[in-house]
Amino acid sequence: MTAVANPATVGECLRVGAGFSQGDLNWIAEQFATLDARLASFYADTTELEVSVKDRAAKGQKVTLECWIAGRQKIVTTSSEEDLHDALNDVRDDLRRRLNDSKNRQEPRHNRHLREHVEPESTDLVE
């Protein structure tokens, strides 16, 4: 794997959406800091994260974390945990898992058969 010149980090890529203010950005970014290792293999200028919450502090609140990475499908994770910190941890952990799954599907490392497509030899018989 080659090193990415300008790796994506939560601090560079995260923005807050509905239900959060810019003042919430720092403590949310701190809570999401463990995603930095997973995001580091992507370019910062082609990666975006947005966290939002619907019905904040109400029973039944819903936290959503969306992730856009160029060349990949958008990933959306949600949580209905009642505690906001628990909900943020839930969407963070789900995003990490889904990024790992996506990377493994797209870039198999230990299976040469999946990395290389070899055409079978011709079985034409000459009579």
Residue 127 placed within a domain: no
What is the pTM assigned to this prediction? 0.78
pLDDT at position 5 is 77
Specify if 14 maps to a domain. Answer: yes
Q: Is residue 27 part of a domain?
A: yes
Per-residue pLDDT, 112 = 54
2 belongs to a structural domain: no
Asked, for residue 121, whether it belongs to a domain, the answer is: no
Give the pLDDT mean for 19-42: 94
Domain containing 77 equals 10-106
- In the block, tokens 């239900």 appear at 19
**Tens digits of per-residue pLDDT, 71-121?**
888 999 999 999 999 999 999 999 999 998 877 766 655 655 555 554 555
CATH number, domain of 56, equals 3.30.160.100
pLDDT at residue number 57:
78
The answer to whether residue 5 sits within a structural domain is no
With CA atoms as reference, report the closest residue to 65 among 87, 85, 45. Answer: 87
- Number of structural domains found in the chain: 1
Is residue 74 situated within a structural domain? yes
Is 97 domain-assigned? yes
5 to 42, 73, 94: CA distances (angstroms): 9, 22, 26
- Other CB atoms within a 10 A radius of the CB of residue 79 amount to 21
Q: How confident is the model at residue 116, as a pLDDT?
A: 54
